[in-house]
Amino acid sequence: MGSHKLIVPVSLLLGGVLSAQSPTLTDMNNVPAAGMDYPVNLGTFGYPGGAGADQTYGFWMLQSTGNRDIMYLAPSVTPTSNMVAGVTHLSTDGGTDTLFWRANASGLDLLAEKNALLGLVVYSDPGIERQYPCTFNTTWSDAVAASYTTSGIPVVRSGSITGVADGYGLLELPAAGVPNVLRIKVRKVISDVSAIVTVDRISETYYFFTELVPHPLLKLQIDTTIINNGGPTVTKESQWMFGEGTIGFDDLSFDDIRFTAYPNPATDLVHLSVDDANEVRFVEVLDATGRLALRQDLMRNQSDAIMGAFSVIGLAPGVYHVRLSGTAGVLGTQRLVVN
């Protein structure tokens, strides 16, 4: 099954020094910007883990059967967006499947979806995929409805969506261990009715999020399909980041020092305020996929204090991670929004 590579400080595992905390997801830290691209591994899974506080979600044994790039795009990339009012961004797996989203301070709504099998489905009553702010024990429910035509046949869709942030704690992936991860369970019950067939679908999706990355570190999905009241067909799929030899983990390192990067959001020059900076030697800026966008050595004054500032001019708008490093490796990270 491969090696179990778990990068977690001992203090987190002993339980008395640092305690787990539930992240709070908002439209500022949970919505990807257009142009972001997340490579993920694909596979299946067994048990999705339990609900509650201070959980350990052990998925280090996941086996990859392939990979995929999840891309986020501006609505302007396709004229189809003109048929869907209120779209703020799209997501696609690089194939024919595209989701049309609306994000604001109150939540993330699925407005439409397009695929090779059904074509374009525009919701007359969109469903709330995530409510904002979202933290441990946040719950929501919503109705969904749509009318569409596929292969010349009219179809009426109805159903419901319910969500709950039901757990948080340590997430163990094949190449990384990430603390303070929020698990969100979204259940959809959908019925598509036409003159020739009725298709009922029940999907349960478990998302695992950190405030540092606006894309799920792990997504587990169980789909149950029933055609004309026949027997159910059940499929399971997992998608996760931080696979061996792909995305790095340093941008989620735990803080050995405290620092502030300001202003945040930033448009040009960013200043650093650093506590206990003796070991700090340089600053790096990484994009949301973990790719290095900028690296700069840091100067010191006569009092050995950091004299730190760097420019984000030329970086695409989006969410980045600022990390300070030295001879001992990564010492601290902080999220930075570039406008």
CA of 124: how far to CAs of 131, 195, 305, in Å? 19, 20, 58
Distance CA 207, CA 221 (A): 9
Domain shared by 155 and 224, yes or no: yes
Domain shared by 235 and 255, yes or no: no
Does the bond joining 133 to the residue before it have cis omega, within 30 degrees of 0?
A: yes
Distance CA 74, CA 53 (A): 36
DSSP-assigned letter for residue 8: -
Domain shared by 39 and 14, yes or no: yes
Domain shared by 137 and 16, yes or no: yes
Domain shared by 20 and 153, yes or no: yes
DSSP-assigned letter for residue 254: P
Evaluate whether residue 1 is within a structural domain. Answer: no
Q: Which of 221, 240, 259 is the last residue of a domain?
A: 240
Distance CA 54, CA 273 (A): 32
Residue 248 has a CB neighbour count (10 Å cut-off) of: 15
Task: Report pLDDT for 300.
Answer: 58
**N- to C-terminal Cα distance for the chain?**
43
Domain shared by 92 and 171, yes or no: yes
Domain shared by 284 and 168, yes or no: no
- Which residues of the chain are modeled with pLDDT < 50? 1-18, 244-254, 304
Evaluate whether residue 144 is within a structural domain. Answer: yes
Closest to 150 in 3D by CA, of 107, 189, 188, 199: 199
Q: Which of 192, 220, 240 is the last residue of a domain?
A: 240
Domain shared by 181 and 83, yes or no: yes
Count of residues for the chain? 339
Distance CA 99, CA 72 (A): 10
Task: Report pLDDT for 116.
Answer: 83
Q: What is the tens place of the pLDDT at every residue in 272-308?
A: 777 655 677 788 888 866 778 888 887 655 554 555 7
Q: Output the DSSP codes for 208-243.
A: EEETTEEEEEEEEEEEEEEETT---EEEEEEEES--
Do residues 45 and 58 make contact, with C-beta atoms less than 8 angstroms apart?
no
At residue 125, φ and ψ (nearest 5 deg) are -130, 95
Evaluate whether residue 245 is within a structural domain. Answer: no
Q: Which of 213, 240, 267 is the last residue of a domain?
A: 240
Domain shared by 199 and 279, yes or no: no
Closest to 333 in 3D by CA, of 63, 325, 215: 325
DSSP-assigned letter for residue 105: T
Task: Report pLDDT for 305.
Answer: 52
Q: In 3-state terms, what secondary structure has residue 12?
A: helix
Distance CA 140, CA 136 (A): 12
- Domain count within the chain: 2
Structure tokens at 220: 């587990």
Task: Report pLDDT for 307.
Answer: 55
Place of tokens 């969100």: 184
Structure tokens at 41: 């591994």
> Which residues constitute the domain of residue 268?
250-338
Do residues 232 and 225 make contact, with C-beta atoms less than 8 angstroms apart?
yes
Domain shared by 325 and 185, yes or no: no
Task: Report pLDDT for 7.
Answer: 30
- SS3 labels along 124-162: EEEEEEEECCECCCCEEEEEEEEEEEECCEEEEEEEEEE
Q: What is the tens place of the pLDDT at every residue in 1-55?
A: 332 222 333 223 223 334 568 999 999 999 988 888 888 899 999 999 999 999 9
CATH of the domain at 271: 2.60.40.1930
Evaluate whether residue 4 is within a structural domain. Answer: no
The gap from C-alpha 90 to its chain's centroid, in whole angstroms, comes to 14
Domain shared by 84 and 189, yes or no: yes
Task: Report pLDDT for 1.
Answer: 31
Evaluate whether residue 334 is within a structural domain. Answer: yes
Evaluate whether residue 2 is within a structural domain. Answer: no
Question: Which residues contact residue 274 at a Cβ distance below 8 angstroms, ignoring those fewer than 6 apart?
Answer: 257, 258, 259, 280, 305, 306, 308, 324
Domain shared by 276 and 294, yes or no: yes
Evaluate whether residue 143 is within a structural domain. Answer: yes
Long-range contacts: 97-103, Cβ < 8 Å, 24+? 100/75, 101/129, 102/126, 103/27, 103/31
Evaluate whether residue 209 is within a structural domain. Answer: yes
